[in-house]
């Protein structure tokens, strides 16, 4: 088994005893940090940064130098798979992602290749290997992918969307075509995440950012079904240790039981879900990750600490909670505030683990 100096994140995912509640932050490596902005400028553009293993490693490690986080997350993007499928991904200055060749027909779906993780996506695996080497066993490394539904939204819409009219038109008028696309994406994600695990990721997470825009039945048919397939086909042990998987659907509070039933180890929660209610519903089956509103990081130190205490109290005694934001950190939060958050979680959570710590 790989020796980790700090493995409380992996233990909490498996609901094993820990000394304090672990914490990491979605988008913890990113543009709220001045050192990240300098590194991105050095790379030239966002995708060049992702494709440079040494620079991707550097930005992965930057937040760990500032804050006592319990995990590192691979610096990459959820759109690496669609990019590797040849859709012409670009990021304009101050704009979201755009695809030059949106998926809008039967022929477009049929022509999509399933990328080889060690060929078209080898730069991601190289980054994983370099990051693992440079972490030196300090904390575990999280790998990730977008969910098939979330990837499909960008591919069909041609970029970001507020209304999702194009993909919902496909869903309701050509559901068979959308299922073909989602099935191909699920196969791609399985290969991609298993390659990340083989390269050194010690836990993986699936980001279903746009699952919450679906109707109740449609979520299960067009999003959850495919995440379930991915979970069932992931490598769940590597280097003599279990490889936990977390599913996170933003806006997914209505489907917690169904998400937990996929066989995942943890369910991510956004800030619209009460943590104590989630624990009552699924906490005996899976670990829970979340769920501070990222905007709380604009608040005073006293307010941040108060919110930490509330969330820790909501979960209560014992392991199985990974403290996180309910979505990604905002780019203009004061850089000192995440330290207040991280330190408060560690300080105040010890009392909840005194009887279970080993």
Check whether 36 is labelled as a binding-site residue.
no
Asked about 51 being catalytic, the answer comes back as no
Check whether 138 is labelled as a binding-site residue.
no
Asked about 154 being catalytic, the answer comes back as yes
Helix (H) or strand (E) holding 288: strand 287-292
Check whether 129 is labelled as a binding-site residue.
no
Give pairs for 31-35: CB < 8 Å, separation 24+. Answer: 31/331, 32/329, 32/330, 32/331, 32/332, 32/333, 32/335, 33/62, 33/63, 33/66, 33/335, 34/335, 35/62
Asked about 217 being catalytic, the answer comes back as no
Helix/strand/coil (H, E, C) string of 235-272? CCEECCEECCEEEEECCCHHHHHHHHCCCCCEEECCCC
Indicate which residue of 31, 66, 129, 236 is catalytic. Answer: 31
Of 6, 63, 37, the C-alpha closest to 341 is 63
Task: Look up residue 286 and give its DSSP letter.
Answer: S
Indicate which residue of 77, 83, 265, 270 is catalytic. Answer: 77
Check whether 209 is labelled as a binding-site residue.
yes
Check whether 2 is labelled as a binding-site residue.
no
Of 314, 292, 318, the C-alpha closest to 303 is 292
Asked about 133 being catalytic, the answer comes back as no
- Is the CB of residue 203 less than 8 Å from the CB of residue 142? yes
Q: From CA 7, how far away is CA 137, in angstroms rounded?
A: 9
Q: What's the longest Cα–Cα distance across the chain?
A: 59
Check whether 45 is labelled as a binding-site residue.
no
Asked about 9 being catalytic, the answer comes back as no
Check whether 27 is labelled as a binding-site residue.
yes
**Stated length of the chain:** 358
Indicate which residue of 19, 27, 236, 241 is catalytic. Answer: 27
Indicate which residue of 40, 129, 236, 241 is catalytic. Answer: 40
Indicate which residue of 9, 36, 154, 219 is catalytic. Answer: 154
Check whether 186 is labelled as a binding-site residue.
no
Check whether 94 is labelled as a binding-site residue.
no
Binding residues for substrate are 27-31, 77, 154, 209, 327
Binding residues are 27-31, 77, 154, 209, 327
Catalytic residues: 27, 31, 40, 77, 154
């Amino acid at each position: 088994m790989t020796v980790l100096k700090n493995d409380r994140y992996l233990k909490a995912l498996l609901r094993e005893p820990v000394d304090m509640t672990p914490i990491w932050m979605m988008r913890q490596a990113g543009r709220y940090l001045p050192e990240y902005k300098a590194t991105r400028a050095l790379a030239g553009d966002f995708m060049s940064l992702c494709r440079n293993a040494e620079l991707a490693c550097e930005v992965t490690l930057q937040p760990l130098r500032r804050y006592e986080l319990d995990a590192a997350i691979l610096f990459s993007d959820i759109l690496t798979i669609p990019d590797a499928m040849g859709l012409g991904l670009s990021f304009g200055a101050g704009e979201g992602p755009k695809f030059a060749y949106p998926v809008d027909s039967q022929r477009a779906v049929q022509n999509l290749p399933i990328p080889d993780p060690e060929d078209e996506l080898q730069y991601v695996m190289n980054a994983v290997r370099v990051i693992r080497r440079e972490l030196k066993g300090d904390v575990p490394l999280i790998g990730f992918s977008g969910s098939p539904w979330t990837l499909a939204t960008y591919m069909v819409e041609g970029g970001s969307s507020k209304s999702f009219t194009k993909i919902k038109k496909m869903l309701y008028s050509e559901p068979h075509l959308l299922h073909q696309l989602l099935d191909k994406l699920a196969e791609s994600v399985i290969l991609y995440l298993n390659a990340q695990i083989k390269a050194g990721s010690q836990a993986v997470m699936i980001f279903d950012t746009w699952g919450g825009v679906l109707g109740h039945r449609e979520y299960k048919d067009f999003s959850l079904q495919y995440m379930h397939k991915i979970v069932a086909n992931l490598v769940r042990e590597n280097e003599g240790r279990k490889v936990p998987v977390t599913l996170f659907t933003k806006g997914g509070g209505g489907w917690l039981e169904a998400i937990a039933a996929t066989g995942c180890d943890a369910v991510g929660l956004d800030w619209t879900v009460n943590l104590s209610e989630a624990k009552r519903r699924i906490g005996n089956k899976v670990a829970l990750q979340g769920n501070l509103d990222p905007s709380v990081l604009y608040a005073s130190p006293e307010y941040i600490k108060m919110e930490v205490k509330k969330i820790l109290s909501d979960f209560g005694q014992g392991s199985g909670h990974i403290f996180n934001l309910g979505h990604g950190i905002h780019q203009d939060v004061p850089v000192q505030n995440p330290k207040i958050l991280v330190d408060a979680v560690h300080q105040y959570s010890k009392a909840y683990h005194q009887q279970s710590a080993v």
